[in-house]
Amino acid sequence: MTPPCAAAIAENRVDALVREDLHQHIRARHAGARELLLIKLQILPKHVEAVGALLRRVGGKVLSANPSSYIVELTSTETEIGEFIANVGAFGEIVEVVRSGVLGIARANPRLHVVK
């Protein structure tokens, strides 16, 4: 296996720094920042109602209600998603977690536009 070249490593680090700078900018300046969570749980049937109640409180929805593969979608703030993950873990095993990362849009002008 060929080791990655220094240029590729440097490019990945720059990309990561740019993404983090963008995320900080979105969190700081745009109240329209949201994150999408998809989480797959394995829960006992007796916990389905409790997980559903927790989900209703945070505005999420069930995509698959099978207790052995209970899949949930939640769009919220980064903090609320972290809290939801911590709370829902009490009801069963977290099998898989997919998070979009922070997305945002400015509420006021100027709008982003394509520069040619």
Tell me the CATH number at 87.
Answer: 3.30.70.1150
pLDDT tens track for 69-109: 999 999 999 999 999 999 999 999 999 999 998 887 777 66
Task: Give the per-residue pLDDT at 9.
Answer: 53
Please check whether residue 26 lies inside any domain of the structure: no
Task: Give the per-residue pLDDT at 85.
Answer: 96
More confident site: 111 or 98: 98
Please check whether residue 25 lies inside any domain of the structure: no
Task: Give the per-residue pLDDT at 6.
Answer: 59
Please check whether residue 41 lies inside any domain of the structure: yes
d(CA 116, CA 31): 29
Sign of CA dihedral 71, 94, 79, 51: positive
- First-to-last C-alpha distance (Å) of the chain: 40
Task: Give the per-residue pLDDT at 16.
Answer: 53
pLDDT tens track for 19-74: 555 555 555 555 578 999 999 999 999 999 999 999 999 999 999 999 899 999 99
Please check whether residue 39 lies inside any domain of the structure: yes
Predicted TM-score of the model (pTM): 0.66
Please check whether residue 10 lies inside any domain of the structure: no
CA atoms within 13 A on the CB side of 3: 4
Number of domains in the chain: 1
Task: List the domain range (segments joined by +) for residue 47.
Answer: 35-99
